[in-house]
Structure 1
């Protein structure tokens, strides 16, 4: 769900959607509580401003949360690192504050599910910093491609270099001065981001799909549409 009016063309996720997507794709997080750092190797179940995590039953974090009836004040830290090998691989850093509570015992009997109610979050990227409230996140959902982004990007980078080269035909030729190395940096339902890597710096360019992709099959179709446009010399939406 988004606060963007229906008649406004959307070309990229909102900051709240980016936060939800980053959490949804995470396989581990760092929780700061009571002056300690706790590394949790756990996926995050995202339900708007409410997150679900898992932790060992006897972990200090679980014990601390159990002893706080109003919830344990915590900060969650998460770094978004590009799955493709490029310079400056950090795409964003998320800091999220809220209250952690014991939800229930897991089926394995040795771990628990913890519920984190988000109060506010800050997402810092190379393009700017966004401050969000729990209410903002409650209106957002993860991108449908978030959990598959790493596999899709590495597949493009490793097995379809010819397609990446073809897509550069959609770019302003001036951006290609000096023959930069081109890498797929990010993707979501709205489009594909290419990293133009020069010896003295880099620039990121987004190629926008004609329509958002709802799944991997539609993502493949949208990339094919971009390739067709590139082969035909047609203009493409980009920024």
Structure 2
């Protein structure tokens, strides 16, 4: 890892055995965790506050019955061409807080009336997607999304990261023992940036820029309880000077 600069550095490695989520996995995780998105249709932008249900390359949205998007979908016999925009913002306050921007293109269909009688479910059949991050851009097809493995921590990531940042500064300090000492020159501010079943990403914030470093769990986490065990394993390795995969 080189010296800090004004841009982020990709937490990646040349070791093919170090596991990371695929681009399709990241897309599924982002969609399953988001509660807001923008739908572009018929030359207009519709900002929605709604959970997203993900099933392969199909999404399910819930919108008010009287929403303009509902009427537009109802009037489109073969589905309405739409573009969806989702922004992934770090739940922990860091420099350059946007972690990714996701754009999806597909067709929107009216599904069915919701149980409350005041809203409807809309189905989006995704044709292709583009995920742009500070580390690069990846394009996906519907078939790629069908192969994605949903991350069991995605819906809990924000709560876990903010808890780590707000209540466990001592743990973050201990984790820095696992890093290359050269990265700690200048005493950067260390904040948790992201996590998934495979590991934890730390943001090292220097006055002149920042670096992201990924610490890999010894085994993937299956749920939040497993995540606690994996974190204890990393902390134990840091305390006893044991090696871990990092990138």
Q: TM-score, normalised by structure 2?
A: 0.93
Q: Is contact 2:64–2:70 with CA below 8 Å preserved after alignment?
A: yes
Alignment of 1:87-236 (within 5 A): 87-236=95-244
Give the match's secondary structure for 1:83.
Answer: coil
Shift of the alpha carbon at 1:142?
2.2
- Distance in 2 of aligned mates of 1:100 and 1:139: 22
Q: Is contact 2:84–2:103 with CA below 8 Å preserved after alignment?
A: yes
The one of 42, 48, 54 equivalent to 2:56 is 48
Alignment of 1:63-74 (within 5 A): 63-74=71-82
Q: Is contact 1:97–1:119 with CA below 8 Å preserved after alignment?
A: yes
Report 1 or 2 for greater relative contact order, CA contacts < 8 Å, sequence distance ≥ 6.
2
Shift of the alpha carbon at 1:10?
5.0
Give the match's secondary structure for 2:155.
Answer: helix
- Distance in 2 of aligned mates of 1:10 and 1:77: 30
Q: Which runs of 4+ in 1 moved over 3 A?
A: none
Shift of the alpha carbon at 1:222?
0.3
Alpha-carbon displacement from aligned partner over 1:88-113 (angstroms, at most 9, x marks no partner): 00000000000000010001111100
Aligned length in residues: 232
Shift of the alpha carbon at 1:9?
3.3
Alpha-carbon displacement from aligned partner over 1:81-135 (angstroms, at most 9, x marks no partner): 0000101000000000000000100011111000000000000001100000011
What is the RMSD of the two structures over their aligned residues, measured on CA atoms? 0.8
Gap regions ≥5 residues in structure 1 = 1-7
Q: TM-score, normalised by structure 1?
A: 0.96
Alignment of 1:34-45 (within 5 A): 34-45=42-53
Q: Is contact 1:48–1:141 with CA below 8 Å preserved after alignment?
A: no
The one of 26, 35, 42 equivalent to 1:18 is 26
Corresponding position of 2:92: 84
- Distance in 1 of aligned mates of 2:137 and 2:69: 29
